[in-house]
Amino acid sequence: MEPMKLPGPKARALIKRDSSVISPSYPRDYGFVMDHGKGSEVWDVDGNRFLDFMAGIAVNATGHSHPEVVKAIQEQAEKFLHISSDFYHIKMIELGEKLDEIAPFEEAAVTFMTNSGTEAVETALKLARYHTGRTNFIGFTGAFHGRTMGAVTMTASKAVYHSGFYPLMNGVVHAPFPNPYRPILDRKRGEDYGETVVRYIDEQIFRQIVPADEVAAILLEPIQGEGGYIVPSEGFFPALRALCDKYGILLIADEVQSGMGRTGKWWAIENFGVEPDVITSAKGIASGLPLGACIARRSVMDWSRGAHGNTYGGNPLSCAAALKTIELLEREYLQNAGEVGQYTIDALQEIAARHPSIGEVRGIGLMIGVEFVKDKTTQEPDEGLRNSLVHNAFERGLLLLGCAKSVIRIAPALSINKSEIDEGLAIFEEALTLAEKGE
């Protein structure tokens, strides 16, 4: 496959204009300048077609510009664009009812709506302190929860997110996330590694760093996103839930990236057989419109009028998009995510058998990580090869994003079909072959 000459002339001109007026903090990697998209296909401003395997970082759940989502937004826009959360509107109520219906706990759910994932996390942190009267939190290394001050304190995936911003929020301690591929704690004979991590929290953190009765909540992603699309070992969540119950600590599941059907279930934590107390959602919830949600058990969201609020949360356009997104997921895309996700994992396992640079393929549904190593025995990460693969794929019409040190995340629209997966993985393997040759 011949590589395209990218970026093209129109894209180069726009990138130059961008550099004069847009913050340099955005982590752009390669020069894709989007013009339009449909489903899992996108076109740049020079007319080049690409397959999209990252969906705006797992945001475009129903694909680019799904006609039913677009229609729902248009119909709402003709009625009104904004009224603020000081008043009521039917779309916000209907969305709250729907989130109550699909929340991953038996108790009734109450939702505070925000504009983004990081705001949803901030809401969860404030709520945990208010409800428990405690001030401390446990997070996990490798976590990404956002970039506002509380959320970025809980984030522990890259030091650059903290550099230049100290002091951060007080009262946060991080434990190692139970990464079965890269364990760092010594486990007891016959002990699941997830249980090892929970024992470390109980025996080390609670005894030596912060008393358990001063911890408001434990916050984590059920499947880590930026940390490497890491699926914890199966013993982890039952042990963690038991630990939280033992000490009266809230369990907050950050489902911003892993939720809304990405694993073939509404929420990733449903794959592990436990109920959280609070979840945060955003990204895929509204097919690309800005919306976040902090969803809690009714008994937990007990704060008083005026304790927390915002202006744009529950925006009517975003709520309309979210309601249609949930309808589409229920109708077909939840099932598709599970079926096509397993098909993709199986295909990647076959590719891995041909390429020793692939250390591990992991994931559930359409939340899939491929980790690259220099040697399968030492498991030394191969960041350079991963980066070369991403750029080779871009030049051949496939959009990819990395995460962690040497992982490719595969998180396409939940509407993607098997033929599109086949086309994308053919490019993926060609790009990998070239990267392995140093090209």
pLDDT of residue 1: 80
The CA distance from 228 to 232, in Å, is 11
Residue with tokens 């009714």: 298
pLDDT digits (tens, 9 = 90+) for 280-305: 999 999 999 999 999 999 999 999 99
What average pLDDT does the segment 331-346 reach? 98
Structure tokens at 48: 């080049």
What average pLDDT does the segment 413-433 reach? 98
pLDDT digits (tens, 9 = 90+) for 178-204: 999 999 999 999 999 999 999 999 999
pLDDT of residue 369: 98
Beta strand spans in 198-288 (E): 215-220, 250-254, 278-281
pLDDT of residue 272: 97
Task: Note the helical H segments in 22-156.
Answer: 55-58, 67-77, 90-102, 117-132, 149-154
pLDDT of residue 418: 98
Straight-line distance from the first to the last Cα atom of the chain, in angstroms, rounded to the nearest whole number: 14
Under the banding of pLDDT at 50, 70 and 90, the label for residue 378 is: very high
pLDDT digits (tens, 9 = 90+) for 39-85: 999 999 999 999 999 999 999 999 999 999 999 999 999 999 999 99
Structure tokens at 406: 């040497």
Domains and their CATH numbers in the chain:
9-65+333-436 (3.90.1150.10), 83-314 (3.40.640.10)
Which residues, other chains included, contact 308 with Cβ-Cβ below 8 Å and sequence gap of 6+? Answer: 112, 123, 126, 127
The CA distance from 221 to 307, in Å, is 26
State the angle between helix axes of 90-102 and 316-328 in degrees (0 to 180), rounded to the nearest 10: 40
| Strand order, beta sheet including 358-364 | 358-364, 367-372, 407-410, 401-403
pLDDT of residue 316: 98
Under the banding of pLDDT at 50, 70 and 90, the label for residue 241 is: very high
Share of the chain above pLDDT 90, in %: 99
pTM for the whole thing?
Answer: 0.97
Amino acid at 312: Y
Under the banding of pLDDT at 50, 70 and 90, the label for residue 25 is: very high
Residue 242: count other Cβ atoms within 10 Å of its Cβ. 13
pLDDT digits (tens, 9 = 90+) for 358-376: 999 999 999 999 999 999 9
Residue with tokens 């894209």: 11
Cα 362 off chain centre by: 15
Amino acid at 414: L
pLDDT digits (tens, 9 = 90+) for 26-38: 999 999 999 999 9
What average pLDDT does the segment 266-292 reach? 98
User: Which residues on neighbouring strands pair with residue 44, listed in sequence order?
Assistant: 34
Under the banding of pLDDT at 50, 70 and 90, the label for residue 170 is: very high
pLDDT digits (tens, 9 = 90+) for 387-415: 999 999 999 999 999 999 999 999 999 99
3-class secondary-structure state, position 364: strand
Structure tokens at 325: 């997104």
Mean pLDDT for the chain overall: 97
The CA distance from 259 to 364, in Å, is 11
Residue of 351, 339, 383, 393 lying closest to 1 (CA atoms) = 393
Residue of 338, 336, 395, 316 lying closest to 11 (CA atoms) = 395
